Amino acid sequence: MLADVLYKLMLYGFLLVFFASAYAILYGFGRVWDLPFLTKISYAFGVLQFLSGLGMVVTEYLAIFWKLIILISSILYLFIPPVMWKVVVKFHERHHR
């Protein structure tokens, strides 16, 4: 049913970015405060984020092209926090003097 499908897509879409944000924030704090435990928890949110993206992809409604965009995004989100972390640290090392 249409309402059912839309409900799922909106919910997954919300969770996708929500978990991606939680992942980025927790990962960042885990690194900056040197709490490996927090960093590990953040990976769980990374996985949840990916699963939400997958949820949008397996729901039969969007055209294949949009599914692809969402799939690529949710893969990108997996790498954004660690990569950004390295970039930020490099930036500050270079210009903080």
Partner 1 sequence: MEQKKLYESQQLALWYFWTAFILLGAQLIFGLIAAYQFVNPDFLYGALNFMTNRMLHINALVVWLLMGFIGGIYWFLPLETGREVVGIKLGKLAYFALVGAVAVVVLVYLLKQIGTADYFTMWFITEGREYIEAPRWADIGIVAVALIVAYNVIATTLASKRITGILGVLIIDLAALFGLYLAGMFFTPNISIDQYFWWWVVHLWVEATWEVLVGVLMGWLLMHLLGTPRKIIEAWLYVEVMLVFGTGILGLGHHYYWIGTPEYWLGIGGFFSAMEPLPLVAMVVHAVYDAGVHKLKTVNIPALFWAFAQAFGNLFGAGVWGFMHTLPQINLFSHGTQMAPAHGHLAFFGAYMAANVALFYFALGQSRVKEGYVLNGFPWKLAYVGLIIGIVGMVGALTVAGFAQTMIERATLGSTWEAYITAQEHPWMVSAYSWRLLFGFVFFVAYIVLMYDLITAGKRVEELKRIEEARVAG
Partner 2 sequence: MSIGWLEVVVATVLISLVVSVILGRGKGWLEPDFWKIAAIITSSVMTITLILLTFHSLNAISVGSKRVPSPTVINKEIGYVYNADRRAMEPVIGKADVGLFGKVWSGEEASKILEEGKLAIQSRNCMDCHTLLGNGAYYAPDLTKAWLDPKWEKQIMPVTNAKSKEEAMRTWIINPDKFPTWVRKMPNLKLSEEEATAIVAYLKWMSAIDTNGFPANFPEVKVAQ
- Partner from partner 2, partner 1, none binding residue 90, C-beta < 5-8 Å depending on class: partner 2
Joined together, the tokens standing for residue 10 give 């909106």
Contact string (CB under 8 A) for partner 1, positions 11-30, x = contact: x-xx-xxx-xx--xx-xxx-
**C-alpha dihedral sign at 61, 65, 69, 72:** positive
- Partner from partner 1, partner 2, none binding residue 40, C-beta < 5-8 Å depending on class: none
Give whichever of 8 and 21 is closer to partner 2, judged by the CB atom.
8
Say how far apart CA 6 and CA 62 lie, in whole Å: 10
